[in-house]
């Protein structure tokens, strides 16, 4: 009976996360319109930050509570879901044109960041003397405070660059009429409150459910929690794609992934060093491969329906692999 209640609270937490992100995006995007910021930049910054807020809330709450496996696997799982499912589903609905700036700047940067995090963890793997006893739950490295500070510094520099780029490339294209300032601020405040509370509820109940079913925190973070916190990205990008706002859809995914790796991992590892097991290191390696593949698809300046289908199928394969390993 208690497990049923935990599942109900988990669903309530996800609902709060999604609705909170919705409010946050609406309020933030409305303020951004006042400054005539291009759609792709809004996607990379305001919308990406709003839809990544659930991941930030969950991973930060997990780090504070010492559930570091959820903190890391949530980020990696969310990034895989964004690249494979969100982009894949959007491409299935309508082939996705890719902005040249994202191909030349943001896609390669996201790959570099993923490689950096993988390398920081893998250095610990090389210090293991007896590889014969190496299991999936064996700790192979640590994301400590120094790495967290580096990630946060890179995030700050990236955000400043995007803001400067937006100021130099203002658009005069017709945009939806912004909401009153007071209403925008109210939506942002209410959204953040829902996101923070929802994040705490999700982490607490996910841990109980994981223990009850014998699932590791790594697995539940990579699957249940990651998919739940990535629903805002999926909904936002699908809506944007259907409305022809492809810059917003692509920018939302890549921006969210960068925010996850830089801001969320940076905050989480600064709060509490993250001990990384072999399973999470393998997932980081898969993320790098997927990121490179998605970038290759984008080089044609359009993600086709066939490529979208391949992305969705590969995501299903990664989830199956995570469950059976």
pLDDT digits (tens, 9 = 90+) for 249-262: 777 788 888 988 99
pLDDT at 110 over 80: yes
CA distance 68 to 81: 20
Q: Over the stretch 192-211, which tens digit does the pLDDT of each residue have?
A: 788 778 877 887 787 788 77
Query: How confident is the model over 87-107, as a mean pLDDT?
Result: 84
Question: Fold for domain 41-49+68-176+216-324?
Answer: A middle domain of Talin 1 (1.20.1420)
- Alpha carbon 249 to its chain centroid, in Å, reads 14
3-state secondary structure of 266: helix
pLDDT at 248 over 70: no
**What per-residue confidence (pLDDT) applies to 309?**
94
Q: Over the stretch 277-310, which tens digit does the pLDDT of each residue have?
A: 888 889 999 999 999 999 999 888 888 899 999 9
Q: Over the stretch 10-51, which tens digit does the pLDDT of each residue have?
A: 899 888 877 887 787 777 777 767 766 665 566 566 666 666
For the chain, domain boundaries? 41-49+68-176+216-324
CA distance 24 to 191: 5
- Give how far Cα 174 sits from Cα of 17, 39, 183, Å: 31, 11, 21
What token pair was written down for 126?
A: 């090389």
Q: Over the stretch 164-176, which tens digit does the pLDDT of each residue have?
A: 776 676 655 545 6
Characterize 48-57 residue by residue with b for buried, 16 or more Cβ atoms within 10 angstroms of its Cβ, and e for exposed: bbbbbbbbbb
Q: Is the full-model pTM beyond 0.85? A: no
pLDDT higher for 185 or 88? Answer: 88
**What per-residue confidence (pLDDT) applies to 132?**
63
Tracing tokens 């919705």 back to the chain, one arrives at 22
What token pair was written down for 288?
A: 């790098």
**What residues contact 217, with CB distance under 8 A and at least 6 apart?**
67, 69, 70, 73, 207, 210
- Alpha carbon 126 to its chain centroid, in Å, reads 28
**What per-residue confidence (pLDDT) applies to 116?**
95
Q: Where are the alpha helices (DSSP H) in 213-225?
A: 217-220
């Amino acid at each position: 009976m208690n497990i049923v209640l935990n599942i109900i609270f988990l669903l309530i937490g996800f609902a709060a996360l999604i609705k909170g992100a919705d409010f946050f995006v609406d309020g933030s995007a409305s303020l951004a319109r006042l400054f005539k910021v291009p759609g792709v930049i809004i996607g990379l910054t305001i919308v990406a930050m709003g839809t990544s807020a659930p991941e930030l809330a969950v991973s930060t709450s997990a780090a504070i509570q010492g559930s570091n496996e959820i903190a890391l696997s949530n980020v990696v799982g969310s990034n895989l879901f964004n690249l494979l499912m969100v982009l894949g589903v959007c491409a299935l609905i309508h082939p996705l044109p890719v902005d040249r700036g994202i191909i030349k700047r943001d896609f390669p940067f996201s790959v570099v960041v993923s490689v950096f995090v993988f390398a920081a963890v893998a250095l610990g793997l090389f210090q293991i003397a007896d590889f014969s006893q190496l299991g999936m739950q064996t700790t192979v490295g640590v994301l400590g405070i120094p790495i967290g500070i580096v990630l946060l510094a890179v995030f700050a520099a990236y955000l400043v660059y995007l803001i400067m780029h937006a100021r130099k490339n203002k658009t005069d294209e017709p945009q939806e009429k912004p909401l009153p300032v007071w209403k925008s601020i109210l939506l942002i405040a209410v959204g953040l409150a829902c996101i923070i509370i929802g994040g705490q509820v999700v982490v607490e109940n996910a841990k109980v459910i994981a223990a009850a079913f014998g699932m590791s925190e790594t697995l539940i973070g990579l699957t249940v929690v990651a998919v739940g916190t990535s629903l805002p990205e999926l909904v936002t990008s699908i809506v944007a794609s259907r409305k022809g706002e492809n810059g917003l859809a692509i920018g939302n995914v890549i921006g969210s992934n960068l925010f996850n790796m830089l801001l969320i991992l940076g905050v989480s590892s600064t709060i509490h060093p993250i001990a990384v097991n072999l399973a999470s290191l393998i997932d980081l390696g898969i993320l790098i491969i997927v990121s490179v593949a998605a970038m290759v698809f984008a080089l044609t300046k359009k993600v086709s329906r066939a490529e979208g289908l391949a992305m969705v199928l590969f995501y299903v394969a990664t989830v199956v692999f995570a469950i059976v390993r």
